[in-house]
Structure 1
């Protein structure tokens, strides 16, 4: 008995992780945050899409649709935010990672 995946390669969705760091801080408290996505797929990553105001009820609504580098910067004031990034692999499969940020006196990545 032979497994199907031993005969025909089975596509798998990409693995995805996101690094978050503070790029700059303005006098009015606004912060520029850098997000660096790293997707991994045997077939390769085609592009990333970013939703900086993700809402589960509204669904994924990207502000940046076809980012080839995986690095984006956005400005935020104090508050809580959910950012969604989607990696799309060369085979068309995708994976989405949510980043929950809580900005106050310091930058923190909120616990999931």
Structure 2
């Protein structure tokens, strides 16, 4: 089906300690709307399968004091390359 599995790793640091990570794999960058697909990820590691396209992905880290920070990346997944038969016949 042309799905590509991507591994994401988030690492946050805080003197209070990290409470959890939240992931939004369809982040609305224009309106800055964060709607997590995955909430309360304790490890900061996720795997997700994507079709070809461009995606905006956000991860939010929340520490034990309730402070939070969001990082956003754009991900481009190229489609499957199929070789076309050559029009030239062997000589």
TM-score, normalising length: structure 1: 0.67
Larger of the two Rg values belongs to structure: 2
Partner of 2:2: 29
Q: CA RMSD in A?
A: 1.5
2:10–2:44 Cα contact (<8 Å) kept: yes
Structure 2 residue ranges without an equivalent (≥5)? 81-91
Structure 1 segments unaligned to the other structure (5+ residues)? 1-27, 107-112
Q: Following TM superposition, by how much is the alpha carbon of 1:58 offset from its aligned partner in structure 2, in angstroms?
A: 6.3
Task: Give the Å deviation of 1:90.
Answer: 0.8
TM-score under structure 2 length normalisation: 0.81
User: Counterpart in 1 of 2:41?
Assistant: 67
User: Which of structures 1 and 2 has the larger relative contact order (alpha carbons within 8 angstroms, sep 6+)?
Assistant: 2
Shift >4 Å, 4+ stretches: none
Q: Would you say the 8 A contact 2:56–2:72 is kept in 1? A: yes
Q: How many residues align?
A: 79
